Amino acid sequence: MLDPMLDPMLQLKNLSYVYDEAVALDNVNLTVAQDEIVCLLGASGCGKTTLLRIVAGLISDYAGDLLLDGRDLRRLPAHERGFGLMFQDFALFPHMSVSDNIAYGLRRRRMAASDIAQRVEEMLDQVGLAGYGGRSIGTLSGGEQQRVALARSLAPEPRLLMLDEPLGSLDALLRDKLALELREIIHSAGLSALYVTHDHREAYAIADRIALMDKGRIRQFARPFDLYHHPQDKHVARFLGFSNIFRFGDNRFTRALRHKFAPDAAESDAFLIHPDGIELGDGGGSTAIARRGQIESAVFRGEYSEVRIRLPQDGLTLSCKSRDGNPAVGSKPTVHVKREAIRRLN
């Protein structure tokens, strides 16, 4: 893949937006390259939907620049941008059939009726709803509505597809399956996409790059792999579900870690002990720091167990994964923390 920073199709420069005297977006910088899927990841109220609405053209009184292929978009109204937006509540037109919903964007582009009919059939096929064209919206299930909404936003072949929590209303099992399907569809259509979600697993699965947002700011903008392995600060680490966050001066154990693995760090520096770098049992090797711990809790998750283990001598508790069955609560395995587990945080 080309370096996305060099080839931005969509570019947000120092974008800020104030709504009701509260800062909704604060100096956001973001790029989306051709054929790239960028996820906006964050808790509700972090500004990700606002950002989507600005790009879509539904909000125009923002500060900063929004550029498409280097062209300023501010004065271009939503209906002339040619973007696609899939709404969280789907926003299907209740007074139109499934076909008419999908055809809506095509009709606005003044396509010939026969081309529209053909394209609608194609789209119905692609989202697995062949034969549903004449149905009315009210008769569809949630999953079917979601597919119609996707088909409607894809049909006009938008330059940029935006999806606002498109899987939000579906149950977890269906979500994993559809996330992959969505990625397939978006890539096979050769689209660029901005994808909003609050679920980091969904973002890992679907994104080429993830912009993690908090309180209107982008905290980290990175590839999923980099985000997972090198969260930039405490907030990002916590949002991604990590809990072993300490300062080097916190206790005996953390000071030992600093002494062995990060001698240049200050006692007040924050760091993460990445669960992937923690091992339970006899392994570990000489490069690791080992301690006797006691299992406080173990939650069986299938392929692994989520374990909280207490180090009594040092007065701290660590979270990690165990792949060797489900350890018994109260048992006392040895904990090995490897060098690569230490991730410095800003």
Partner 1 sequence: MTRLRRPYWRLVYLVPLTFLALFYFYPLLAILDIGLRPEGWLDLSAFLRLLSSDYYVGVFLFTVYQAALSTVLTLLLALPCAFVFSRYRFAGKSLLLALATLPFVLPTVVVAMAFMSLIGRRGLLNDLLMTLFSLDYSPIQLERTLAIVIIAHVFYNFAIALRIMTSYWSTQGIAAEEAARVLGADEWALWRDIRLPLIQPALLSAGALVFMFAFTSFGVVLILGGIRFATLEVQIYYQTINLFNLPLAAALSLLQIGAMFALMILYTHLQRSAQFAIGSGKAAAKPAKNARERALVWGVVIFIFALLFTPLLALVARSALKDGALDLSNYLALAESSRGSLLFIAPIASVANSLRFALMSTCMALVIGLIASFMIVGRGPLARFVDPLLMLPLATSAVTLGFGFIVALDEPPLNLRSSWLIIPISHTLVAFPFVVRSVLPSLRAIPPSTREAAQVLGAGPYDLLRTIDLPLVSRGIAVGATFAFTVSMGEFGASLFVAQRESVTIPVVIYRLIGDPGLASYRQALAMSVILLLVCALGFVMIERLRVAGVGEF
- Residues making contact with partner 1 (CB under 8 A): 53, 56-58, 60, 77-85, 87-89, 91-95, 104-105, 108-109, 152-153, 156
User: At 116, phi and psi to the nearest 5?
Assistant: -60, -50
Q: How far is the CB of 150 from partner 1 (least distance, A)?
A: 12
Q: Which is nearer to partner 1, 155 or 345 (CB)?
A: 155
Q: Which is nearer to partner 1, 42 or 57 (CB)?
A: 57
Q: Which is nearer to partner 1, 95 or 323 (CB)?
A: 95
Q: How far is the CB of 271 from partner 1 (least distance, A)?
A: 43
Say if CB 286 and CB 245 are below 8 A apart.
no
Alpha-carbon gap, residue 337 to 309, rounded angstroms:
13
Alpha-carbon gap, residue 125 to 117, rounded angstroms:
12
Q: How far is the CB of 105 from partner 1 (least distance, A)?
A: 4
Encoded tokens for 188: 């096979």
Q: Which is nearer to partner 1, 84 or 231 (CB)?
A: 84
CB-count burial class (<10 Å; 0-12, 13-18, 19+) for 304: middle
Residues linked to residue 68 through DSSP beta bridges, in sequence order: 10, 71
Q: Which is nearer to partner 1, 41 or 92 (CB)?
A: 92
Q: How far is the CB of 261 from partner 1 (least distance, A)?
A: 51
Alpha-carbon gap, residue 98 to 149, rounded angstroms:
9
Q: Which is nearer to partner 1, 78 or 290 (CB)?
A: 78
Q: How far is the CB of 109 from partner 1 (least distance, A)?
A: 6
CA angle 327, 230, 29 (to 5 degrees): 140
3-state helix, strand, coil in the chain (%, to 5): 30, 30, 40
Q: How far is the CB of 47 from partner 1 (least distance, A)?
A: 17
CB-count burial class (<10 Å; 0-12, 13-18, 19+) for 314: middle
